Structure 1
């Protein structure tokens, strides 16, 4: 029994780790249910931006050098400012307004698809 326990522990230690998992949205005003896995030098990020009267949300993985930086940019003559907020725990960058788990999103999609069968 001790040998089996030792083998399980060693297997756990030898298995390569996976990258940080984050929610990912390009530029969105709604829920973010897609996910991505970050590279070694990346962290999860989220940005809340107001461009004119439109509130925009984006999230995903970013290089750690971008964390905490405030940037002002212009798109189609509309100036906007955003700060890249970073975190380093799986799925820590959920939408500020609504967080929707991947399981909930998958169940909702399955129920919707079953309506067509």
Structure 2
């Protein structure tokens, strides 16, 4: 009987641990490139993945991006405010499956992209 109880406890622990949501994380991103990208496991108080976007209203060219875990109370709405008389708009779009908040894009420079192509072609050549 004790053995069955122990097996049930281990099984339940595996299920509860397996339910934690995993999100892409980016504390600060600029122009589609994330600085310090990673992943994070959400806890009970922050149970959703989100993609956030902050745009300064003076110019749409200046925007910051974030990703990570967020409380469901802060999801899927737009917030408007001002910082030192500069107006801004913040949107946070949430989802609830692993990695659903998208991978942060990494932009290669033209030189790096051409270098990768030349290396790939060169490695396929046989003499």
Shorter-chain TM band: 0.5 to 0.7
2:74 corresponds to which residue? 66
- TM-score norm. by structure 2 comes to 0.58
Equivalent in the alignment of 2:43 = 39
Q: Is the counterpart of residue 93 in structure 1 residue 101 in structure 2?
A: yes
Unaligned runs of 5+ in 2: 1-8, 108-127
CA distance in 1, matches of 2:91, 2:13: 38
Q: Distance in 2 between matches of 1:74 and 1:91?
A: 31
In the other structure, the counterpart of 1:21 is 22
Give every structure 1 segment of 4 or more consecutive aligned residues whose post-TM-superposition deviation is greater than 6 Å.
Answer: none
TM-score (normalised: structure 1): 0.63
In the alignment, structure 1 segments of 5+ residues that lack a partner are: 1-9, 101-117
RMSD between aligned residues: 2.7
8 Å Cα contact 2:25-2:38 kept in structure 1 = yes
In structure 1, C-alpha distance between the alignment counterparts of 2:17 and 2:106, rounded to whole Å:
26
Larger Rg: 2
